[in-house]
Amino acid sequence: MPGVILEAIAKHFGPVRAVDDVSLTVADGRLLTLLGPSGCGKTTTLRMIAGLEQNDAGRIIIGDRVVSDGARGLFVPPERREIGMVFQSYAIWPHMTVAANVGYPLEVRHLPRAAVRARVIDALRLMQMEHLAERPATALSGGQQQRVAIARALVFQPRVLLMDEPLSNLDAQLREQMRLEIRALQQRLAITTVYVTHDQEEAMVLSDEIAVMHELRVLDAAAPEIMYARPASRAVAAFFGTPNLLPAKVREVRREGDEILARVDGEGWEGWCAAPANVQAGDAVTVIARPEIIRLGAERPRTGIAWTGVVRQRIFRGARNVYAIESGALRVIVDAPPDQTVREGTTVTLTVDSAHTWAVLG
């Protein structure tokens, strides 16, 4: 059963378009991340789901209930949508204790005091903060404030959890820790979640599915593994890491088992790569070869691509060496193990198996 459905939603602020024709489905109990640069429409999309903005077109459905329909003028206010929201700023009230902050959504719903206290303690226990219930909010660290914000969003047992870049104000180490905690909590509660971020790694760690947004639209939506290894387009591939994007021409297409392989020619190189079913001989394509799957000095695979190039730069990154290699008109980036050291100016052979490549049209 779907948890959230967006059907061709759009939003304008006067003459300015903010979101244009976005359609998505978030399965019940799953986490979908809206990923994209600033200004692409992801936060406005989240705010329309929450009811903090009203969509001008399209429909928003939560569970089996239409909560907004632009054509019919239907709009269910935020407090009746069964959603919890965590904001980028946390929005913690400094004059309240931790317990009072978490209990506020229940107080405004006029629940009995005993029920409020019990639900607050349960929510704080989820976040491992029960012992801080009476601490003033001003005495909390950034990570603790973030946990309070999540507890407050969950305390009234919402149907959907919405999170708008909740980790962006934390330092790198705490941000990494909180990613894992949020993912574990979401899976344990099996709560439908829509999460907004511009951080690729955060999206990969947290998500069951990622929707890449660019220029007010969704470019593609898929599981993280598919999005990373076999993106739908060059634009989507460029959102994740620093892939090598190699222009080429398709000379031949064949099927091997469940895979489709394309023989491609680039400028000064050729070989075989994996490809989608819509690629045909004669097509111009971009071959995606990520830095971590290219091998230095390995034998050429039975089906794959090989280049010869000159090492122009080496950057030591602790867990890996990053090489910039010039191969004709190409500049290829390779991630190698930290113990594989090659001097600048050395001529090397680069190889990649076809199973670890992907060709997209254009």
pTM here is 0.89
Residue 305 pairs in a beta bridge with 271, 352
Q: Fold match between 2-235 and 242-361?
A: no
- Chain centre distance of CA 64: 26
Q: Strand 57-62: give its sheet, edge to edge.
A: 16-27, 2-13, 57-62, 65-69, 74-75
Angle at 18 between CA 17 and CA 19, to 5 degrees: 100
DSSP 136-190: BGGG--HHHHHHHHHHHHHTT--SEEEEESTTTTS-HHHHHHHHHHHHHHHHHHT
pLDDT computed for residue 31 by the predictor: 97
Q: Please say whether the beta carbons of 156 and 190 come within 8 A.
A: no
The domain over range 242-361 is classified in CATH as 2.40.40.20: no
Counts for the chain of helices (H) and strands (E), in that order:
8, 21
CA pair distance 216, 195, nearest whole angstrom: 17
For the chain, give every domain's residue range.
Answer: 2-235, 242-361
User: What is residue 257's predicted lDDT score, i.e. its pLDDT?
Assistant: 80
Query: Among 67, 15, 62, 22, which residue's Cα sits nearest to residue 41?
Result: 22
**How do residues 184-213 score in pLDDT, each as one tens digit?**
989 999 999 999 999 999 999 999 999 999
* In contact, 340 and 260? CB cutoff 8 Å: no
Q: Selecting from 1.20.1260.10, 3.40.50.300, 2.40.50.1020, 3.10.129.10, what CATH number does the domain 2-235 have? A: 3.40.50.300
Residue 290, CA distances (Å) to 51, 166, 171, 332, 352 in order? 40, 29, 28, 9, 9
Spatial separation of the C-alpha atoms in residues 272 and 262, rounded to whole Å = 5
- Residue 22 CA to residue 157 CA, distance in Å, equals 27
Q: Within 10 Å of residue 88's Cβ, how many Cβ atoms? A: 15
pLDDT at 1 (0 to 100): 65
**Phi, psi (5° rounding) for residue 179?**
-55, -50
Would you give per-residue pLDDT tens digits along the chain (362 residues)? 679 999 999 999 999 999 999 999 999 999 999 999 999 999 999 999 999 999 999 999 999 999 999 989 999 999 899 999 998 877 788 888 988 898 888 888 888 888 888 888 988 888 888 888 889 888 888 888 888 888 898 888 899 999 999 888 888 888 888 899 899 989 999 999 999 999 999 999 999 999 999 999 999 999 999 999 999 988 899 888 889 999 999 999 998 888 899 999 988 888 999 999 999 998 999 999 999 999 987 777 788 898 889 999 999 988 899 999 998 888 999 999 988 888 999 999 999 999 999 999 88
Measure Cα distances from 39 to 149, 200, 216 in Å.
25, 16, 8
Distance CA 297, CA 229 (A): 23
Report the DSSP beta bridge partners of residue 7. 59
